[in-house]
Structure 1
Amino acid sequence: MRKFFAPLLFAVTIQAGLAQQTQKPVLHGKNWMAITGKPLAATAGAMIFQKGGNAVDASCAMLAATCTMWDVLSWGGETQALIYNPKTRKVIGINALGVAPTGATAEFFKSKGMNYPPEYGPLAAVTPGTPGGLCLMLAEYGTMSLKEVLAPAMQLAEGYPIETQTANSIERTKERIKEWPYSKTVFLPHLGEPREAPEAGEIFKQPDLLQTLRKMIEAEQQALKKGKSRKEAIYAAQDRFYKGDIAQEFVRGCKEQGGLITLEDLARWKPVQEEPLKVNYKGIEVYKLSQWTQGPMMLQALNILENVDLKSMGFNSAKYMHTLYQVMNMTFADRDFYYGDPYLAPEEPIKGLLSKEYAKERLKSLNWEKNDAKVTPGDPYPFEGKTNPYQDYLRQWSHASLDKPSTGLTQEYLDQVWLGTTSVEAADKDGWVVSIVPSGGWIPSCIAGRTGIGMSQRMQSFVTDPKLNPFNVVEPGKRPRVTLTPTMALKDGKPYLSFGVQGGDTQDQNLLQFFLNVVEFGMNVQEATEAFNINTYQFYLSLGGEDRKPKPGNILLHESTPPYVRKELVQMGYKLSFDDRTSGPINAIYFDWKHGSFWGGSSNHGEDYGIGW
């Protein structure tokens, strides 16, 4: 999990129209912008830009670098992306989420005494998505070869000085890592010593991963020698991963350790290009991936909040926090019950969920005086002209989740709420814009054989009980509903904002507030990334163990919250907790069309870093 450790240098009061001093400067660029979770990975993007690549080429290089650096993800995870194509002036969605393998049924996991698939190990793995997603983006929208784009990652795999955060994460989780022989070999070079993980600054080498990447490049180069096009050659590399000798070793290593993924599962899987969802908020078009992510909940929240005068409430006043908290709880409840894989039945009522009329109906139920501990999913079906087929489940959902809510914010629980990933933001002078929130295969990861590839843990986001969510019950070939949620906004038909964040169930909470900081309170992009957020825990955890029930009324505030605001919130029924960091690291790009430049923001909450030119 990402730890936020930057010192709090000063406290600030944010008012509409007033600039605040920030801990990190705004990034400015005229030609390109590259922002991601690690300085070395941002440098990889800069290297590609300097060689003439576009934003898609650079974002693929950053994605490859973050995977290689185990920036709370690995190559066996999943990639979720939005791309703005300046030639068509359209936003494209990239769905590179793996699917549940053969044998992964609700009955299988229940037979093992599990209400959810496990958090870690081979049985937590969906099929790898990131290699295919990277190849798709590069082939269709990039300009460079896979060999060129993977060059920085391959240099990292040869050996790079590992940073403190990742090295310490390995050391903290080494007992679990020792359960898997291939992971132990990669992560623990000092077995038997007091510290078995690498030390900060030690050259961390991954020869198996390097060999896997070389095999993909070999496939590409051989295809080019046979006269294949750049695009065809990149897909040849993808095929070697999913259908060739890489796939064979991946499956062998997975099955040896008790996993379910088969060669047929890998061969059948394909990344998907799709049309994203969008809503219009006060003239700004906001884009999210569809209901296989939690992204539409931010769109639902914006639909509700556009009917409220947020600015007059004042930034982070008790009334403002209360309003956000209640609206987010409503959209979380809808997420928890209605979101799932749109490519498999049953069909989610997404049209109703995103209708403006449904939003107004939800707003009517908002309690303006007290926290509503019994917020439940709404009924969007009438707003599609249909009858809800799951009324009985809805009634049982309410009883199961709210009559005996989970209590207490343990550290284990908070770790699951904030469980990290990374984000990648890139833009160039020709108009290409990319927002990626990849994840999966984070440390402690089970590595599949001699591939060097850490397997995903995303299967844990399924449910086995349809009463909790009839759209997200685990079955072979199905995608779990993920928390990962890149975002893009257009204004007057042109890119306005591109942004993403890490942090599990907190992601769309943080991104909603970031967006409102810019649009409603006039903050610049860096101010908005650093501004204090609130967080609700009144939802079902997407990641974790068996206890995932909502924690009604629990709210995270920044430690500088004034006493009078704290008092008002307590009177409204809230249970307060505090921290000096109240969001994951937010990365963002603002498009300054007046001056023809980019403004980059990379929050002060972690190791995220940006470079512009």
Structure 2
Amino acid sequence: MTAKPNLAPAPAPASPFTTRPDIRGTFGCVASTHWIASAAGMAMLERGGNAFDAAVATGLVLQIVEPHLNGPGGDLPAIVHVAETGETRVLCAQGVAPAGATLDHYRGLFGDGLIPGSGLLATVVPGAFDGWMLMLRDHGSMELADVIAPAIAYAKDGHPVLPRVAATIADLAEFLATEWPSSAAVWTPEGKAPAPWSLVRNPDLAATYQRIVDDAQGDTRTARIDAARTLWSRGFIAETIGDFLSDASVVDVTGDSHSAVLTREDLANWQARWEAPVSIDYHGWTIHKTAPWSQGPVLLQTLRILENFDLAAMDPMGAEFVHTVTEAMKLAYADREAYYGDPDFVDVPLDHLLSRDYAAERAALITATASMEQRPGRLPGREHLADGAIVRAATDFGAKAPQAASEPTMAHLTEKRGDTVHLDVIDRWGNMVSATPSGGWLQSSPVIPGLGFALNTRAQMFWLRDDLPLTLRPGARPRTTLTPSLAEKDGTRIAFGTPGGDQQDQWQLIWFLRYVHHGLDMQQGMDAPLFHSLHFQSSFYPREVKPGEIMVEPAFGEDVIADLRARGHIVTLSDPWAIGRLTAARRDPDGILTAAATPRLMQAYAVGR
């Protein structure tokens, strides 16, 4: 294998037409996975707010209109660029494992098996609300009452419910009525699931958010936002959650009933925080990602490996491109499974994993044939971690089939499973936000009575085995799959991302590569066919592994699909237009803004002017 750097972009696909136009302007733009949320964020910009105000409003509305994909009790990573200082920062609102989440307690229930993917036992500290408040306090300009008003209105007065939300509720209606009655009271208030596009309300959540606004007193804007954070972590929110969890025991994905270990003290002892991004350079671009408490660096690792190939010479819709990118992703994700974890607790060898020398070694493993092996790098002194990852991937955990949400998925899989949302915002001053909220889905765990929202199930990502980077530890962050992106080159900056669990950094990578190497513009890249690997171990219960399998959209065509199979890939076809929910927003040095959103599922939208 010899790298042949060719930076000249290959021709874009012959057709210049896209499903929708790139949104262009200079004032501001918002792209998100639901058009109502995008419009709510744009309204903040129109009222004089900045990108951070708009992002918070967008994120809070996404909790209302996509409740099967995220909620107030979920989690939130974001990457922001602050125009005034030129600083790029990561917001970590990923809650940690409770103090009572000990190996002894969980092993007493499950041995060295799996933490359930739903219910109460998988709950970590809910982080999303505090994260949004930290962003608003430190970088926003508007009052909490203003940015939260659209979410309150849609929860109180109703919104036209997406068919997928209605289908999710209908699919779970019997389970909710029997096992999670507090959820049934919210989502089937008249004993039946809502019809698609009917008005759905959540008056309890509207009242919760309105009480926060009313009770968050202070002499300054900052003081009022801090008061709201305190109401969440130490006030009536924490008290209500704590009271419910103190004696609740509910059926989860295992079919058995379990109780939470989360307490009000866990909420009181945690806050969202700012961190530095993890960044690399790639063909003149600097790409910023979250640290290895997420899967974010896996995209950077894959880019490092792909530097050793002439991607620009490949057809971006061809089999060679799909094969090469897939094999590189397999290698990067294998390292994720062996070495990633919360850097507050474990030493993640990120400098080594992101080095060009190591990437060249990994790239040399890629041949013309699809690999069927799990191949984490064998780092000196850490060989046992690589061996352990291989063993776990081959282990049958005897997990039961999911009865409620465990794994984020797309339209080609079951409605019972949750997913994620994403948003990108840029304002006229050049402030930028890329955020990927998730967790607290309506199907993940029961609604906290009186509050109108559920908790998350992120603890399912921990292992119940000793001395691993992802061993369950009180106070540690689970290695989340949530992974927003921000890239910059010569004054141009792009915020982008997607829902999709383990697929997030795969779909983002493919979109970014086609943009950099093949000249596809924003919406062209959104419309182009996508693929992803299922080869490595899933982050979600029941931790499936499908060696050699890739899922591709049929738009690649029969010849490409046949070529991939000839190379040894196990190819599964998705439904048409069923992979990826990408959105993106770009600011060029002259101040022109461009935004785009996927047409898949017919709900994501970019708006701006």
RMSD, aligned CA: 2.3
Q: Tell me how far 1:432 sits from its aligned partner.
A: 0.4
CA distance in 2, matches of 1:432, 1:453: 31
Is 1:230 aligned to residue 240 of structure 2? Answer: no
Distance 1:327 1:402 in 2: 21
Match of 2:584 in 1: 588
Match of 1:486 in 2: 484
Name which of structure 1's ranges 569-578 and 409-418 shifts more when overlaid on structure 2.
Answer: 409-418
Q: SS of 2:266's equivalent?
A: helix
Matches of 2:79 and 2:34, distance apart in 1? 20
| Counterpart residue number, 2:568 | 573
Name the structure 1 match of 2:293: 292
Task: Name 2:96's counterpart in structure 1.
Answer: 99
- Displacement of 1:17: 6.9
1:321 aligns with 2:318: no
Aligned twin of 1:251: 242
- State the match for 1:339 in structure 2: 340
Any residues of structure 2 matched to 1:15-414 within 5 Å, and which? 15-16=11-12, 18=14, 20-69=16-65, 70=67, 72-113=69-110, 115-163=113-161, 164-178=163-177, 179-191=179-191, 196-220=192-216, 222-223=217-218, 227=219, 229-257=220-248, 258-344=259-345, 346-366=346-366, 368-380=367-379, 387-388=380-381, 390-402=382-394
Aligned-pair distance for 1:555? 1.3
Structure 1 residue identity aligned to 2:453: I
Mapped partners of 2:108, 2:201: distance in 1: 40
The within-5 A match list for 1:503-582 is 503-545=500-542, 548-579=543-574, 580-581=576-577
Distance in 1, Cα, partners of 2:52 & 2:549: 40
Gapped runs of 5+ residues in structure 2?
1-9, 249-258, 411-417
Question: What's the CA shift string for 1:550-589, capped at 9, x where partnerless?
Answer: 2111111221333332332222211111121353210001
CA contact (8 A) 2:527 2:598 kept: yes
Q: Is the 8 A contact 1:556 1:582 kept in 2?
A: no
Quick one: distance in 2 between partners of 1:557 and 1:89? 39
How far did residue 167 of structure 1 move? Answer: 1.9
Cα–Cα, structure 1 residues 416 and 142, in superposed 2: closer, same or farther, change >3 Å?
closer
How far apart, in 2, do the equivalents of 1:160 and 1:378 lie?
51
Q: Deviations over 1:252-308 (max 9, x none)?
A: 123332322111100001101000101100110000011011110000011111221
Residues 274-283 or 111-120, more deviating: 111-120
**Structure 2 vs 1, CA of residues 154 and 21 (structure 1 numbering), >3 Å: closer, same or farther?**
same
SS at structure 2 position matched to 1:499: strand
Q: Distance in 1 between matches of 2:195 and 2:136?
A: 35
> Could you tell me which residue of structure 2 aligns to residue 603 of structure 1?
598
Displacement of 1:414 after TM fit?
11
Q: 1:107: Cα distance to partner?
A: 3.0
Aligned-partner Cα distance in 2 for 1:374–1:413: 29
Identity of aligned pairs, percent?
Answer: 30
Q: Deviations over 1:431-489 (max 9, x none)?
A: 1000000000113142123111210111111111247xx11111221110011110000
| 8 Å Cα contact 2:420/2:439 also seen in 1 | yes
The answer on whether the counterparts of 1:535 and 1:582 sit within 8 Å (CA) in structure 2 is no
TM-score of the pair, normalised by structure 1: 0.89
* Aligned twin of 1:384: none
Measured after TM superposition, the shift of residue 513 of structure 1 is 0.3
Give the secondary structure class of the aligned counterpart of 1:378. coil
1:592 to partner: Cα distance: 3.2
**Aligned partners of 1:425 and 1:498 also within 8 Å:** yes
Distance 1:413 1:528 in 2: 30
After superposing the two structures, state which structure 1 stretch, 16-25 or 250-259, moved more.
16-25
Q: Is the 8 A contact 1:37 1:71 kept in 2?
A: no
Could you say if the C-alpha distance between residues 189 and 403 of structure 1 is closer, same or farther in structure 2, counting changes exceeding 3 Å? closer
Tell me which moved more, 458-467 or 536-545: 458-467
Task: Assess if the C-alpha contact under 8 Å between 1:534 and 1:582 holds in 2.
Answer: no
Counterpart residue type for residue 472 of structure 1: L
**Structure 1 187/247 Cα, relative in aligned 2: closer, same or farther at 3 Å?**
same
Partner SS state of residue 450, structure 1: coil
Give how far 1:205 is off.
2.4
Match of 1:422 in 2: 421
Task: State the secondary structure of the residue aligned to 1:28.
Answer: strand
Whichever residue aligns with residue 38 of structure 1, its letter is H
| Distance of 1:507 and 1:348 partners within structure 2 | 21
Contact kept in structure 2, 1:77 and 1:439, CA below 8 Å: yes
Flag structure 1 segments of 5+ consecutive residues without an equivalent: 1-13, 381-386
Deviations 1:133-167 (A, max 9, x none): 01100000000011111010110121213322212
The secondary structure found in structure 2 opposite 1:247 is helix
Q: Distance in 2 between matches of 1:552 and 1:119?
A: 22
Moved more, 410-419 or 515-524: 410-419
Partner of 1:93, secondary structure, is strand
- Aligned partner of residue 91 in structure 2, secondary structure: strand
Which secondary structure does the structure 1 equivalent of 2:387 belong to? helix
Do the aligned partners of 1:251 and 1:448 also contact (CA within 8 Å) in 2?
A: no
TM (norm. structure 2) is 0.90
Distance in structure 2 (CA, Å) of the matches to 1:551 and 1:373: 9
- Per-residue deviation, 1:393: 3.8
2:440 maps to amino acid: G
- Note if contact 2:312-2:518 (Cα within 8 Å) is conserved in structure 1: yes
